[in-house]
Amino acid sequence: MDQVAEVMAEVMGTETRAKGELSTQITPLLPPRLRSWCPTCQAEHVPDGLFRMATLPAGLRLRTVGSRSAGFFRAATPDPDVPERARRELLRRFLRRCGPANAKDLAAWAGIMPPAARSWWGLLAGELVEVRVDGERLWMHAEDLSVAREASIPTAVRLLPPYDPLAEVAHRELLLPDPARRRQVWRAVANPGLVLIAGEITGTWRHRKQVITVAPFRPLSTGEQRAIRTGTTDMTPVVDVVFSD
């Protein structure tokens, strides 16, 4: 994306350019690995997704041309430091929400290749501290250490919805060490909701036809079952709760 954006910024002048015109101009200036044959256009050009993503870091904006089309124009000379600052901030927020973590976790969350994640990781190298969690070597931001040390022991019972953001982006092996349980929680499609008791994932739940079926990973106490039922009382329409074996 950086390479495509750099070339876009180089070829753009002060005039508005149609997408096809801009694509035609940048394609021969890019290495073959960033171009591909398009059966629809019957031409070789930068893949559409990559082209679209590169327009913002190139400093381009869209301007209406006539009543049915738009063209690109350069709004300002792009600041070369902006991408690095943005990546630092993104990594900082990722570690605050999902740490402790490592570059592999960042790659999985951001949908980027591991070498790119390691490069981003180096942007905060001087601000990270190594920690050990269950013997695994991970990292946190130095500013988060005091927050982690002062955190109170959780006691609440919660029903997290399917695809809850924290459960989706955090280090899954730490959240749920048992591989078989992880396969029950993070599925190829249609993830269940999660039962969270005292900070631990202790089961899953699904909602169908006004019935919530809870599948616990261990026997639940009477108090825990009562707390789960209490947590569903504000649902509309009213639901019944059953516990499977």
Question: Which pTM value belongs to this model?
Answer: 0.61
d(CA 177, CA 182) in angstroms, rounded, equals 8
**Token pair 């079952």: residue:** 225
Q: Which among 204, 224, 200, 225 is positioned nearest to 213, based on CA atoms?
A: 204
Give the pLDDT band of residue 38 (cuts 50, 70, 90).
Answer: confident
Query: Does residue 188 or residue 203 have the better pLDDT?
Result: 203
Most confident of 49-53, 69-73, 171-175: 49-53
Give the pLDDT band of residue 197 (cuts 50, 70, 90).
Answer: very high
| pLDDT, position 128 | 93
Helices then strands (H, E): number in the chain? 11, 11
Q: Which among 25, 10, 26, 15 is positioned nearest to 71, based on CA atoms?
A: 15
| pLDDT, position 115 | 92
d(CA 106, CA 171) in angstroms, rounded, equals 10
Written in H, E and C, the secondary structure of the chain is CHHHHHHHHHHCCCCCECHHHHHHHHHHHCCHHHCEEECCCCEEECCHHHHHHHHCCCCEEEEEECCCEEEEEECCCCCCCHHHHHHHHHHHHHHHHHCCECHHHHHHHHCCCHHHHHHHHHHHHHHEEEEEECCEEEEEEHHHHHHHHHCCCCCCEEEECCCCHHHHHCCHHHHCCCHHHHHHHCCCCCCCEEEEECCEEEEEEEEECCEEEEEECCCCCHHHHHHHHHCCCCCCCCCEEEECC
Position 200 pLDDT exceeds 60: yes
Contact 163, 127 (CB under 8 A): no
Residue 46 amino acid letter? V
Position 229 pLDDT exceeds 80: yes
Most confident of 32-46, 152-166, 191-205: 191-205
Position 127 pLDDT exceeds 90: yes
Contact 46, 30 (CB under 8 A): yes
d(CA 60, CA 72) in angstroms, rounded, equals 6
Give the pLDDT band of residue 140 (cuts 50, 70, 90).
Answer: very high
- What count of other Cβ atoms lies within 10 Å of the Cβ of residue 32? 7
User: 82-150 has which CATH code?
Assistant: 1.10.10.10
Q: How much is the average pLDDT of 129-142? A: 90
What tens digit of pLDDT does each residue of 70-122 get? 888 887 665 666 778 888 999 999 998 888 899 998 998 888 889 999 999 99
Helix (H) or strand (E) holding 43: strand 43-45
| pLDDT, position 134 | 82
